[in-house]
Structure 1
Amino acid sequence: MVARTGATILSWQVPGEDGELVDLSDGYRSGQELNARDGFRNAVLAPWSNRIRDGRYTWRGTEYDVQPGETGVRDGLHGLVSQADFELRGDAGAAEPRLTLVTSIAPDEHAGYPFSVDVTVTYGLETGADGQPTLTVELTATNTGDEDAPAGLGWHPYFRLPGHETIDDLELSVPARTRVIIDEGLIPLPGDAAFETVEPAGDIGLGPVGDAVVDQAFTDLIPGSDGSVTSVIRSPRTGDSLTLRQDPDESRIVHVFTGDILARDRRASMAVEPCSFGADTLNRDPEAMTLAPGSTRRLRAEVVYRRG
């Protein structure tokens, strides 16, 4: 089930062990929750993900403020489309169920972002070779203006496994060489101080999660033999797992959040988020986000559920 608001997944249900449907996605349960955006459950993040220091950035010599006049929390969190009205577009020729939604960001629509960008979201439901239910996600951002624009993408899904009321007994592995070190405002430290090498390389794991509180990004991702990066949530008790695959050339970041400050059902699920760029890239390295007129940036992910 998908809401047009934000192109937000509300639920992803699959047959459980007893044949009854189980929901692997911890989405919003009401229009009120969707409008409140607490936790950005399953949100599409565009044209940037995560935070901007003080809600300000400089692009080509001009400073922009995405929160003018605001004196509270100024972190420019998670882009501009989480409450946008997306237009539905069918995909009648697809062999598997697919849903495409599109919205446009106009240059005079949002403070601090005077660029024209179209955002397209395509969800697909597939069955793997061994019968595994699979959710596919493709996000694109296309520069429809006449000048270069900074643009990135991200996806903020929350996952859970059947038979677990909380994430505490679950295991998580992320194949990365580097963790991002942040300050009290969850902004990366300046320069190279923001990066800490994981030893041994790729050995980032929580098993079990226990009472660990995590809201951190990982980078220098390590692809497997098929070229994709695979992050895995697994139940050691049932053997069930969810595998998130992403292309390391398109999405350089995996951000993990254990849901400790959610308004509803804290730690009932965890967010494992593929993102094009890390927090505050609009200040750290804005040119890396350059999207030329007529060009498109993509982020593709695949989530596979396996029963133990």
Structure 2
Amino acid sequence: METQPVTRTGVERSTLDGEPTWVLTHPHGARVVVAETGATVLSWQAPGRDGDLVELLDGYTSAAELAGRDGYRNAVLVPWSNRVRDAGYTFAGTHHDLAPGAGSGREALHGLLTGARFVRAQASVRDSTLALRLVATIEPGQYPGYPFSLDVSVTYALGVGSEGEARLGLQLEATNTGEVAAPVALGWHPYLRLPGHNAVDELELTVPARSRVLTDDRLVPLAGEQALAGVSAPVRLSPVGETVLDQAFTDLVPDDDGVVATVLRSARTGESLTVEQEPFQAQVVHVFTGDSLRRGPRASLAVEPCQLVADALNRPDCAEQLALAPGEQRQLVSDIVYRRG
């Protein structure tokens, strides 16, 4: 992206119904609002085709929605993404229960930090990008079933290109500060929306993947090799139509720049949103059409970069990649790019 230099910065504190937020305002017209709870993006706006700001993510609109976490809109997923079967797992020979006392229908969704308080570490400017870094910790005994120590940082970067291209970047890092290995698999859960579309049905979706992940009726991947089914790369829905998706894809195919680019595009306006991820750092992209959302079902499309498949904490084929040694760091980098067509 050809860039314009940042000549001034804007990072301010605000609130949403009493929920503390940070607001980043780029001098060339983009804006992002991040809640203290979960380091969750509530809004990302950039100049649209007519120059006015347009909303590009479907975030929570109130503190009550944020607390309810319906759909995990734009959530940062640490130390696992998606679900853990029966809210329990065995790691290094020890069984851990993530939901002690829970009854039937046990499950553990999207990690531990979606309701945690993140504090601001720093704001910075580099070239054309305005960035905000937030931090939180996980301590032994803080959360049931996860007796490990992590330092977690979330950095959001806001950029605008000279041709009107806008970019929201995420850098998610987890460092094992304990004395034993910890299970860690990171993810992000952004919900994309394009201007002028009240539903995803009319949009086109391209996922550069060679396999889809097969699951049981609880959306837990099947065991071992049974979990993978080959597809023709790339997967294209043109348009999405009435297709219902809650589907993970893997065996991802990088483009000429070496990144995996999942594209949501409007054929009517030419506008697009592209989720970029590193193929060897994040092996899965999960796509969800939002049919079960309480507000705005199918109004946006979740495109989720994830390091490993769902229920990775219970999969022998993920054990080696899951373990994070003491002192080591794991990172997930992803960018969402808006192009006006």
TM range (shorter): over 0.9
Are 1:229 and 2:257 counterparts?
A: no
Aligned-residue offset at 1:153: 0.5
Task: Give the unaligned 5+ runs of structure 1.
Answer: none
Select the residue among 35, 58, 73 that pairs with 1:3: 35
Q: Distance in 1 between matches of 2:161 and 2:303?
A: 21
CA contact (8 A) 1:150 1:287 kept: no
Change (3 A) 1:39 1:245: same
2:93 aligns to what?
A: 61
State TM-score, norm by structure 1: 0.97
Amino acid at match of 1:279: A
Aligned-residue offset at 1:91: 2.7
Q: Distance in 2 between matches of 1:237 and 1:6?
A: 35
1:1-308 equivalences in 2 (<5 Å): 1-95=33-127, 96-128=129-161, 130-198=163-231, 200=232, 202-284=233-315, 285-308=318-341
- Per-residue CA deviation, residues 251-298 of structure 1 (Å, 9 max, x unaligned), is 000000000000001000010000111101111133321111111100
Paired residue secondary structure (2:124): coil
Paired residue secondary structure (2:152): strand
Change (3 A) 1:257 1:98: same
Paired residue secondary structure (1:288): helix
% same residue? 55
Q: Distance in 2 between matches of 1:114 and 1:135?
A: 33
Amino acid at match of 1:18: D
Amino acid at match of 1:206: L
Q: Distance in 1 between matches of 2:137 and 2:71?
A: 23
CA contact (8 A) 2:164 2:340 kept: no
Amino acid at match of 2:150: V
Comparing 67-76 with 262-271, greater Cα deviation is found at 67-76
Q: Distance in 2 between matches of 1:49 and 1:79?
A: 6
Aligned-residue offset at 1:129: 5.5
CA contact (8 A) 1:12 1:24 kept: yes
State TM-score, norm by structure 2: 0.88
Task: Give the unaligned 5+ runs of structure 2.
Answer: 1-32
- Per-residue CA deviation, residues 148-196 of structure 1 (Å, 9 max, x unaligned), is 1111110000001001010000010110111000110000012211100
Paired residue secondary structure (2:43): coil
Query: Which structure is richer in relative contact order (CA contacts within 8 A, separation 6 or more)?
Result: 1
Q: Distance in 2 between matches of 1:129 and 1:301?
A: 21
Paired residue secondary structure (1:152): coil
Amino acid at match of 1:250: Q
Aligned-residue offset at 1:16: 1.8
Amino acid at match of 2:266: S
Amino acid at match of 1:304: V
Paired residue secondary structure (1:271): strand
- Per-residue CA deviation, residues 85-142 of structure 1 (Å, 9 max, x unaligned), is 0011223353421111100000110111000011110001112363311111100111
